[in-house]
Structures are given as C-alpha cells and as structure tokens.
Amino acid sequence: MAIRYPNGRQYTPKNKTVKNESKKKSDVLAKNKLTFSNRGKSLEDEIDEANMFYLQRGTAVIHKKPVPVQIVKVAYPSRSAAVIQEAYFRTPSTTDYNGVYNGYYIDFDAKETKNKTSFPLQNVHEHQVTHMRAATKQQGICFLLVCFSTLERFFVLPFDVLDSAWQAMEKGARKSIPLNVFEEQAIEITESYAPRLDYLKAVDQLLSAL
Amino acid sequence: MAIRYPNGRQYTPKNKTVKNESKKKSDVLAKNKLTFSNRGKSLEDEIDEANMFYLQRGTAVIHKKPVPVQIVKVAYPSRSAAVIQEAYFRTPSTTDYNGVYNGYYIDFDAKETKNKTSFPLQNVHEHQVTHMRAATKQQGICFLLVCFSTLERFFVLPFDVLDSAWQAMEKGARKSIPLNVFEEQAIEITESYAPRLDYLKAVDQLLSAL
C-alpha cells in the first residue's frame, strides 16, 4: 500500500529516488581507497576533525590553542558585538595543541612539509622545543605531528627524537630529519575512517613503549 | 677614607642615605603579615606570577590560554608588524588555564567574588562545567581557583564539589556555594612568599586525597 501525505501526494522514500547513490558512494570510496588523498583539507582541519571526534566519543579532550593577540582598541557599536579594531599578533610561548587523554597530558604541534626526503628543522621554533622540553620533564607526552604532504604520509615524531636532532643541529649537524629516521623512530599514522587522521592510535604505540 | 666620583663628588652608599628603609620594610611586612592584602594585583596577575615561578623552577608547565578571537581583516603596513584591523571575540570552549604538573593534567578557571558568604554560580559558565566534566573523565585534575576578594581568602574548589552544586542548581537548588562548603570541601590556599599565590600546594593536598 502506498503511503500518502495529508495532501494526497504519494510518499516516496528518498533512497528510492536517488537511484545511483550507492554506486556513486562506492566510486568515491574506491577513489579514496584508504589514502589521505583528495581531501582538500588542511592538516589543521584534519586535526580539528579528529579532536572533535575524540571529544564527542569521550576518547580525549584536546584543543587547539587560540592565536595569541595583543588587543589594543575595542569598539562597542550599539546593539551589536564588540569589534576589535586594533590588535597585534604575539609570539606564542607554547605549542598549538594540548589536552588530556586517559590520564596523560598530551602536547604537540602540527607541521607540514612538501619535502620528500627529509623534514627541515626550520619548521620548528626554538620556543616550541623549550616548551616541549619543560613539559616532557613534567611527564607530559610531547610530539610533533608531521605531514609529508607530497608523500601523503603522516607521522607522530616523539619529542626525544626531535630534541636529539635539534641539539645535534645546534652543534653543527644537519638541519633536517631524514625520512628514514621517521620510518625507524617515529610512528606512522595509519589511514582510518573515523576520524580520518586517527593520531591517538599512533600515540597509543608511543605510550605502550614507555 | 671617603670614596669620590671622578667629578669629585663624594660617593655615599645608598643604604646609608635611606636611613629608615629597614624600619619601613619591617612596617610593610608587619602590615602585610603573610596576608594577601595591599597587593594591588589582579587575581590573573597573581596566577601568572605563580605560573612563571613554577615554570622557572621546573615545578610545572601551566599557561593561560589566549582569548579566542575571530580575525577578519589584517593589514600589513610596510616595514612594520601586521595589524589586525577587524576581529571579534569568540566564546571559549574550555577553561582559561591548563598544563602539566608532575604527570598530572591540570585544568582550571579563576573566579573572583566580592560576596562574603557564598560563591554565586552565575560566575561559572555552562561550557566550563561541560569541559571540566570531560577532562575529569580523562583523569585530568580540574578545579576552580576561587578568590573571595573582600575576605582575602583563596580556595581550590575541586571540580566534583562544583559539579554537585551545579547539578543541584539545575534541579532547582540554591544558585551559590556557601562559604562553609568551601571551608569543609575545598582547600584553602595558604599565604606564601614565592610565589605568593602558591596554589599548587593546595593541589598537592587534592592529589594526596585521590
């Protein structure tokens, strides 16, 4: 029996009208085939998406810190929100992301490079190293989330590996970390669906090695 | 023998010229007598000072989060820093302070009231409670740092005490937490010199009760 709306028009379930939807969906899945390609999303968006997922599932509470600005002038137009009319960017003193995961303090920064063979240390700022060194001393879990965008490979680079390379650089050694060091000493983030950049899975491996 | 400057003027050590300094100092000390009075500092300044002290001593790494703003328009005047010309305040989704202390994730907000008998819950925002509830589930150490400014008394109010009062309020109970609840279930911050608001001492008590 056909179901009808009160106005007499027949009700047609939506999944019947869009005949090719399931085929289309499988095409998209095949195209993406468990890779990080064709996303059109920035690394920051991917991390935000993962953090939102973790928060909703009760897996972890990790947030991006706001960009620090020095506010100089604020106007209060009547009947509307306050408008900041003059402000300046300040240098952050920490990394961009921190939070708590199953009792662990998590602290990291996200870095992206188009380089295919190594990660240039000029992507990292002195204050970030100093901060992660201090947080590591407090038993925090610190790392860099590094994206080799051309290779579409993502790694969780433990802070101690970064710190060794950083200190070596300060003594005159190379100014980058080769990809093979990542392959040996970092943890590659394997592709996932929900969230797509499931970086805590890599952090779990980091934690199990503690 | 009198010591003289190259111009012939006699050198007089400063501690001789200010005859009454030591007396004055003791007066000041007596007046302040290990209390939080006469500081002229905001609660936020006191916490910043404590956090700076903790960071320098390697005790903890705790920072205030920047105020979140939505940046709309940025100008780049030649040869000078970028100027934010239009931006709006966003609602934060977390508390103001977080960090790591001896392996513990620390998360709190600072609140001040002139009220002498109770702490009005209207000082607390829903999103702060939601956030601390989530962080507590991840085994984070969450609390409010409450200043009764008229009484010059400071308390570390554990989140579970706040949450009980909050949930009771939602069911129609009182909209404030009486001072005697603080005296019984919160930890009073005892006065100190370095840092003056040594709130981690109170947190230690919180941790020892876990």
**Per-position DSSP letters for B53-120, written without gaps between them:** HHHHHTS-EEEEPPPPEEEEEEE--TTS--EEEEEEE---SS-SEEEEETTEEEEEEEEEE--SSEEE
Taking the Cβ of residue A76 and every Cβ of chain B, the question of whether any pair is shorter than 8 Å is answered with no
- Domain residues for the domain of B105 are 44-66+92-208
Q: Does residue A190 sit in helix, strand or coil? A: coil
Is the CB of A71 less than 8 angstroms away from the CB of B71?
no
Give A83 to chain B, closest Cα distance, Å.
5
Is the CB of A94 less than 8 angstroms away from the CB of B63?
yes
pLDDT, tens digit (0-9, with 9 covering 90-100), for A165-208: 999 999 999 999 999 999 999 999 988 888 999 999 999 999 99
Is B30 part of a structural domain of the chain?
no
Give B31 to chain A, closest Cα distance, Å.
36
pLDDT at B35: 56
Phi, psi (rounded to 5 degrees) for B157 = -100, 110
Is B137 part of a structural domain of the chain?
yes
Residue B18 has pLDDT above 60, yes or no: no
Identify the bridge partners of residue B69 per DSSP, sorted by sequence position: B89
* Mean local confidence (pLDDT), A136-152: 97
pLDDT at A15: 46
Identify whether the C-beta of residue A108 lies closer than 8 Å to the C-beta of residue A144: yes
| Distance from C-alpha of A147 to C-alpha of A112, rounded to nearest angstrom | 5
| Distance from C-alpha of A165 to C-alpha of A160, rounded to nearest angstrom | 9
Q: Residue A98 is nearest to which of B98, B131, B134, comparing CB atoms? A: B98
Residues of chain B contacting residue A55, judged by C-beta atoms under 8 Å apart: 134
Neighbouring residues of B165: CB distance < 8 A, sequence distance ≥ 6 = B121, B173, B174, B177, B181
pLDDT, tens digit (0-9, with 9 covering 90-100), for A66-99: 999 999 999 998 877 899 999 999 999 999 999 9
Is B32 part of a structural domain of the chain?
no
For residue A16, CA distances in Å to A19, A21, A29, A38 come to 6, 9, 21, 29
| Distance from C-alpha of A66 to C-alpha of B115, rounded to nearest angstrom | 32
Identify whether the C-beta of residue B169 lies closer than 8 Å to the C-beta of residue B112: no
Taking the Cβ of residue B138 and every Cβ of chain A, the question of whether any pair is shorter than 8 Å is answered with yes
pLDDT, tens digit (0-9, with 9 covering 90-100), for A20-41: 444 444 444 444 444 555 556 7
Residues of chain B contacting residue A103, judged by C-beta atoms under 8 Å apart: 105, 138-139
pLDDT, tens digit (0-9, with 9 covering 90-100), for A95-108: 999 999 999 999 99
pLDDT at B155: 98
Is the CB of A61 less than 8 angstroms away from the CB of B134?
yes
Is B102 part of a structural domain of the chain?
yes
Of A166, A45, A60, residue with least CA distance to A107: A60
Is A22 part of a structural domain of the chain?
no
Q: Cα B114–B117–B121 angle (5° rounding)?
A: 70
Taking the Cβ of residue A75 and every Cβ of chain B, the question of whether any pair is shorter than 8 Å is answered with no
Is the CB of B105 less than 8 angstroms away from the CB of A99?
yes
pLDDT, tens digit (0-9, with 9 covering 90-100), for B115-157: 999 999 999 999 999 999 999 999 999 999 999 999 999 999 9
pLDDT, tens digit (0-9, with 9 covering 90-100), for B21-68: 444 444 444 444 445 555 567 999 999 999 999 999 999 999 999 999
Residue B14 has pLDDT above 80, yes or no: no
Is A161 part of a structural domain of the chain?
yes
pLDDT at A24: 46
Is the CB of B88 less than 8 angstroms away from the CB of A68?
no
Give B17 to chain A, closest Cα distance, Å.
42
Taking the Cβ of residue B71 and every Cβ of chain A, the question of whether any pair is shorter than 8 Å is answered with yes
Rounded mean pLDDT of chain A?
87
Q: Are strands B104-113 and B141-148 parallel, antiparallel or unpaired?
A: parallel
Encoding tokens for residue A3? Answer: 């179901």
Taking the Cβ of residue A135 and every Cβ of chain B, the question of whether any pair is shorter than 8 Å is answered with yes
| Distance from C-alpha of B125 to C-alpha of A95, rounded to nearest angstrom | 26
Residues of chain A contacting residue B134, judged by C-beta atoms under 8 Å apart: 55, 58, 61
User: With bands split at pLDDT 50, 70 and 90, how would you rate the model's confidence at A209?
Assistant: confident
Is B80 part of a structural domain of the chain?
no
Interface size between A and B, measured as CB pairs under 8 A: 111
What count of other Cβ atoms lies within 10 Å of the Cβ of residue B172? 7
| Distance from C-alpha of A140 to C-alpha of A161, rounded to nearest angstrom | 15
pLDDT at B3: 60
Residue B1 has pLDDT above 80, yes or no: no
Number of structural domains, chain B?
A: 1
Residue A148 has pLDDT above 50, yes or no: yes
Positions at the binding site of B for Mg(2+): 94, 96, 109, 128
Phi, psi (rounded to 5 degrees) for A93 = -110, 0
Q: Is B180 exposed, middle or buried (0-12, 13-18, 19+ CB in 10 A)?
A: exposed
Residues of chain A contacting residue B105, judged by C-beta atoms under 8 Å apart: 99-100, 103-105
Q: Is B99 exposed, middle or buried (0-12, 13-18, 19+ CB in 10 A)?
A: buried
CATH number, domain with residue A110? 3.40.1350.10
Q: Where does A25-175 show beta strands of DSSP type E?
A: 61-64, 69-75, 83-89, 97-101, 104-113, 118-120, 141-148, 153-158
Is the CB of B55 less than 8 angstroms away from the CB of A134?
yes
Residues of chain B contacting residue A68, judged by C-beta atoms under 8 Å apart: 66
DSSP classification of residue A210: -
Is B24 part of a structural domain of the chain?
no
Taking the Cβ of residue B103 and every Cβ of chain A, the question of whether any pair is shorter than 8 Å is answered with yes
